[in-house]
Chain A
């Protein structure tokens, strides 16, 4: 094995070690409301919550990152992230509608164990519309996808604003916190199975599709001329990215920047080949989300824990600006 092929594998191994360290940190970190920050193995009564939180953080971070890699390749756009297609806004509108129905009819959609359902329905509904409107001559078109996603985001945003006027103040606050993303400490079995299955299946399928994603970075005519069946490849990338994003947003809300930054950070260490990039980006995504969640547990301003999305945005924003200015942000 040459030094050139060894380097990405060593980088990948280091990423996994860092991910493991961050998960251990998340398990150890503890700060009860108003109390002191301590690092200790959790008591049996707390352990389940911390394990759930760390595990879900890994799944959510990895899913967002894989979705980001898929969309950046599909849209040939380094600015693409899982929510560029309007999924987060669709999920947000779904949650808002769930809250409104709960308020008007007393139906509990958003805050019980099945609270992910409205978000999931909203995200999948938007995914379907983007798919139907984002095609040209029967094939998904990168530019059309982005434009349709942006327009649907704006429309869903307007719908959410209308609903905000119709619900009481307390529910508005709930939505605001949901919009920043939270890593749940409690999930029921079906939620755990869904998030795990989608993440692992997404990782495997995206890794298998790595070579096709490499070819998809060529112009349409060139990609086809080297043998890439463009239509089915794009459809698979779209559905996979959409499923990963929809499940994460349903479980944890729209956690920003992870799907945008993790692929770029992974590219810096393992290069642009998608087969290894998918795995490295999944590791980086897991690191970012679990580290942000651990930070969220450690910091207490006396008004409860800050949403994890606050920290991913605070880390991701400057990192993105650095990538932009340094010219290292390429697909």
Chain B
């Protein structure tokens, strides 16, 4: 399953959110979108899931334009998690996760596994609306895990922004495992250190333009990031892992 973005541009009124973006998402890997606020990260993710019909250009999912795919077809190949999940009914945690299978055959074991992976089994009867935002983000991730197939796409918009640090790194491990088993993970992050830790590939966006894309070690260079974020950074080598990014 491939995702290709071709000359994608989109405006909200007079504000250009995306400007002529072209790139390919490497399958079975983790691609992270970084950039300052209003860089176009969320808009790009919404174009990928077909929620926005772009003004020009297109996102191709398995060679089909995303905005032309029916919701039913798209749900079978991609799951989406917004930064702030919303459920306006008093559903329990389990009921929300089960809705990930809305157009798919019922699969209790997959729902149970997703709940277990995100440490939600003890919370499964609690009302979603009564959880903290960080817990709600875990539920939304579990719902996405219950939905996607082994080689599906996970499209995540700041999915861990309100989680406790232990859960952030638990999710990092889970997403890594998903990518290694065949899933394509695309996520927007504002935490550059976390991005450097989790990403295989990075798309650096600024003011709606794709500034740079490629391997994490090529893109996450202090020189590139300073130009976009306006802050001095340095890479610090870590034993047995990827380099960390620190503010000077």
A-to-B contact residues, CB < 8 Å = 73, 76-77, 211, 214-215, 217-222, 224-230, 267, 271-273, 330-331
Contact = CB atoms under 8 A, between A and B. Distances in A.
Closest 8 CB pairs of A and B: A227-B75, A227-B103, A225-B80, A76-B88, A217-B89, A219-B86, A330-B90, A226-B102
Tell me whether chain B's interface is mostly helix, strand or loop, or mixed: mixed
B49 interface: yes
B90 A229 contact: no
Nearest to B143: A226
A225 B89 contact: no
A154 B185 CA distance: 50
B75 A218 contact: no
Contacts of B227: none
B204 to A, nearest CB: 24
B91 interface: yes
B182 interface: no
Contact of A218 (B49, B74, B78, B99): B99
A283 to B, nearest CB: 20
Interface residues of B, number: 33
Contacts of A211: 102
B50 interface: yes
B111 to A, nearest CB: 13
Interface string B201-226: 00000000000000000000000000
A170 to B, nearest CB: 46
Nearest to B79: A225
Contact of A224 (B71, B87, B104): B71
Given A217-B88, A217-B91, A330-B89, A227 B72 contact: yes
B100 interface: yes
A76 B89 CA distance: 8
A215 B99 CA distance: 7
B51 interface: yes
A272 B87 CA distance: 12
